[in-house]
Structure 1
Amino acid sequence: MNIQPGQLPLKSLKLTNSLSSTTTTSHREDSESSEENASGAEKTNKALVPVRATAGRLRRGGALPQPRQQPIVVPNQVAAMPIVMTGFVTLVPHTVLDAIALTNCLMIVQCTEPLEIFVGIETPNRYVVHDMFLRPMLYCNERSNIFSRECCGSGRNFTMEIRDLFGAELMKCYRDNPCFSCTDYLGTQFQGQQIGLMKRECCSENFQLLGAGCNQPLLIRSPCCPSCGGTQIFPVLTYTGIKVGEIVRLYPGFLQEAFTDADTYLVHFPADLPPILKLLLISSVFLIDFTFFEND
C-alpha cells in the first residue's frame, strides 16, 4: 500500500481478535503524534506568514520566487581561494552562517515598489537574499526618511536592516553622511558587532572593502560605464590583484529598466571564502546599487 506522508494506514478487516487491541492502540498513538506534528506545523506556518508578508513581499506585486528542487547552475570562475586570508574577528554562531558557508553564489533581488512606479514617490528599497534553490535566506529593508529620499535621491543616508526568516535582526548596514563628505562609507554590523567597512573615494569609481581584524583590503572594481545599462560585472580582487569573486548586476530587460530601478544581483565567491567576507559582499551590493543603479 502506498502511504503518503502524514496519512494513517487503513485498518484491515481481516485482523484477528488477538491483534485488534494492539493495532488500535498503535493507531491511537500514531494519530496523536500526527495531530501534534500537524498542530506544530500549523503554528510555525502561521508565525512565518506575517513575517514574510511584511519583510519580503512583493516583487512585481506578487509572491516570492518559488523554491526549486534543483539549484540554478551559474558558472563560477573562482573555485577555491587562491590565497589565505586570516585575522578576522570571530563571529557569533548562527544558522545563516552555516548556510552561507555551504554555497558559492547568492542571488539578491530588489523588490519592485508599485507606489514608486505609478506615483513617482521614492519609497524605501527592499531586497531578498536567495540561495541557488531560490529559497529566501535574508530580508533587507531600508530605513530612511522621506525628505532625504526626495531631496538627496541615490546619495541619501540610510540604514539597511537585514533579518532572517523569523524576523530577527541579523545584520545592519548604515551609510554615513555621503552628501557632505568626499568619501562614501558603508559600515556593516553583525548582531551588534562591527565586522567591516566599505568606502569609495570621491574621484574613484572603485570600492575598497575591509574586514574587521584583517589588514588586507579587497578591491571591488567598477566597469567602464556601469550606468549605461545591460549586465554589469564588478570583479572582487585582493590587494595583490588576484580575483576572488565578482558581483554581477543582471540586465532586467528594457521595460523593467525603463520604469523601475529594481535590479537582480548575483554574488560569486569561493565556497571557502571566510564567512565575514561573504557577509560584507552581500552588504556591498547595497552601496553599488545606490551609487550606479538607483536613478534609472
Structure 2
Amino acid sequence: MNIQPGQLPLKSLKLTNSLSSTTTTSHRDSESSEENASGVKETEKALVPVRATAGRLRRGGALPQPRQQPIVVPNQVAAMPIVMTGFVTLVPHTVLDAIALTNCLMIVQCTEPLEIFVGIETPNRYVVHDMFLRPMLYCNERSNIFSRECCGSGRNFTMEIRDLFGAELMKCYRDNPCFSCTDYLGTQFQGQQIGLMKRECCSENFQLLGAGCNQPLLIRSPCCPSCGGTQIFPVLTYTGIKVGEIVRLYPGFLQEAFTDADTYLVHFPVDLPPILKLLLISSVFLIDFTFFEND
C-alpha cells in the first residue's frame, strides 16, 4: 500500500484543554451587523490558546495527537434547527458511521518542502481528523504542473479522498471553463454524485447543494478573508439560521509567509445529515483554493 500523507511531516495543530467550554445551544443567526461582529470577536477570543499551541507544534512538524476528550469549540450548534430531507441514499460505509456520530472535524493541509525551498507549486495534500483528532481521511490533489504554475489558485483539479486503508472513498472535481465568472466544486461518494458547491459571479458567498434536496446551505465569507488572521465562514440554512462554521486558523507570521498550508476546524450539529457533513469537508478545498492558496 502506498505511503499515506499522514505518515509524512506536516503542519498540524494540537488542541489544548484550555479552550473555553462555552454553551452549545442552538441560536438564530441575526442579520444585524452588530451581532455578527460580536460573534466573530467571541470566537476569536476563544481560539487564542488554539492558535498559540498551533504555532509551537508547527515548528516541530508534529502530528495532532489523538485525545480521549472531543474537541470543544465555541459557538457550536447542538442540534439542527430545521429538518432537511430528500437526500439521495448513500452506499453504506464505516466512514459514514463515524461521521454520523461526530460534530467537529479538523482538516490539516500538509506542508510541502519543495514549495518552500524551490518555489515549485506541488499538488496539495490534506488529512481529515475526527473530533478526537484521530486520522480519518487522506486527500490528494490530482492536477498537472502546467495548470499549477500558470493558473495558480484558479486551476482545475481533482481531489481524491481515501480511507485509512487507501481505498478511494470520495472524489471532488473543479472543472471550470476558461474565463468563467462562476466557480463550482462537484463531489462524488463511491462514484455517486452527492452534491455541488458553487459561487455565483461577483459574490463572495457559496451555496452548498445536496443531491435530492432543494434546501441549500449558504456559506458566508468574511468581509476580507485574504487579509490574514483567523477567518470564520458561518454555515447557514436557506432560511438564514446558523448551523455551523468553517474556521481557518491563523498559522502565524512565518508559516503564512513561507507556506500556504492551513488548518481548518469544521463544526456542525451532530444530527446534520451525513451527506451534508461530507459536502462540508469538500467545501474546505474550494475555500482554501479561493482565498488562501497563494499564486
What fraction of aligned residue pairs are identical, expressed as a percent? 98
Q: Is the 8 A contact 2:16 2:50 kept in 1?
A: no
Distance 2:263 2:148 in 1: 21
Distance 1:14 1:205 in 2: 30
Give the match's secondary structure for 2:25: helix
Structure 1's consecutive aligned runs of 4 or more residues displaced over 6 angstroms after TM superposition are 1-28, 30-61
Q: Is the 8 A contact 2:187 2:282 kept in 1?
A: yes
Give the match's secondary structure for 1:21: coil
Give the match's secondary structure for 2:165: coil
Q: Is the 8 A contact 2:18 2:49 kept in 1?
A: no
Give the Å deviation of 1:59.
Answer: 7.8
Distance 1:23 1:79 in 2: 9
Give the Å deviation of 1:74.
Answer: 1.9
- Gaps of at least 5 residues in structure 1 are none
Distance 2:250 2:200 in 1: 27
Give the match's secondary structure for 2:30: helix
**Residues 6-17 of structure 1 correspond to what in structure 2 (within 5 A)?**
none
Distance 2:228 2:98 in 1: 32
Q: Is the 8 A contact 2:10 2:62 kept in 1?
A: no
Moved more, 11-20 or 114-123: 11-20
Deviations 1:241-295 (A, max 9, x none): 1111110000111110111100000001000000000000000000000000001
Moved more, 59-68 or 278-287: 59-68
Moved more, 41-50 or 196-205: 41-50
Give the Å deviation of 1:47.
Answer: 40
Q: Is the 8 A contact 2:12 2:58 kept in 1?
A: no
Distance 1:291 1:257 in 2: 16
Distance 2:19 2:202 in 1: 84
Q: Is the 8 A contact 2:66 2:134 kept in 1?
A: yes
**Residues 28-107 of structure 1 correspond to what in structure 2 (within 5 A)?**
62=61, 64-107=63-106
Give the Å deviation of 1:61.
Answer: 8.3
When the two structures are aligned, how many residues end up with a matched partner? Answer: 295
Give the match's secondary structure for 1:20: coil
Q: Is the 8 A contact 2:216 2:238 kept in 1?
A: yes
- Residue 285 of structure 1 corresponds to 284
Moved more, 75-84 or 161-170: 75-84
Distance 1:110 1:7 in 2: 13
Per the normalisation by structure 1, the TM-score is 0.78
**Residues 1-296 of structure 1 correspond to what in structure 2 (within 5 A)?**
62=61, 64-177=63-176, 179-295=178-294
Give the match's secondary structure for 2:91: coil
User: Measured at CA, do residues 164 and 52 of structure 1 come closer, stay the same or move farther in structure 2, by a change above 3 Å?
Assistant: farther
Distance 1:206 1:16 in 2: 32
User: Measured at CA, do residues 35 and 126 of structure 1 come closer, stay the same or move farther in structure 2, by a change above 3 Å?
Assistant: same
Give the Å deviation of 1:212.
Answer: 0.1
Distance 1:163 1:16 in 2: 28
Alignment RMSD (CA, Å): 18.5
Per the normalisation by structure 2, the TM-score is 0.79
Give the Å deviation of 1:65.
Answer: 2.6
Q: Is the 8 A contact 1:110 1:264 kept in 2?
A: yes
Give the match's secondary structure for 1:25: coil
Q: Is the 8 A contact 1:6 1:34 kept in 2?
A: no
User: Measured at CA, do residues 60 and 121 of structure 1 come closer, stay the same or move farther in structure 2, by a change above 3 Å?
Assistant: farther
User: Measured at CA, do residues 194 and 110 of structure 1 come closer, stay the same or move farther in structure 2, by a change above 3 Å?
Assistant: same
Q: Is the 8 A contact 1:154 1:294 kept in 2?
A: yes
Give the Å deviation of 1:49.
Answer: 35
Give the Å deviation of 1:181.
Answer: 1.4
- Gaps of at least 5 residues in structure 2 are none
Give the Å deviation of 1:127.
Answer: 0.3
User: Measured at CA, do residues 76 and 102 of structure 1 come closer, stay the same or move farther in structure 2, by a change above 3 Å?
Assistant: farther
Give the Å deviation of 1:48.
Answer: 34
Give the Å deviation of 1:46.
Answer: 43
User: Measured at CA, do residues 61 and 139 of structure 1 come closer, stay the same or move farther in structure 2, by a change above 3 Å?
Assistant: farther
User: Measured at CA, do residues 254 and 162 of structure 1 come closer, stay the same or move farther in structure 2, by a change above 3 Å?
Assistant: same
Give the Å deviation of 1:201.
Answer: 1.4
Give the match's secondary structure for 1:188: strand
Distance 1:84 1:126 in 2: 34
Distance 2:286 2:271 in 1: 24
Give the match's secondary structure for 1:42: helix
Q: Is the 8 A contact 1:235 1:246 kept in 2?
A: yes
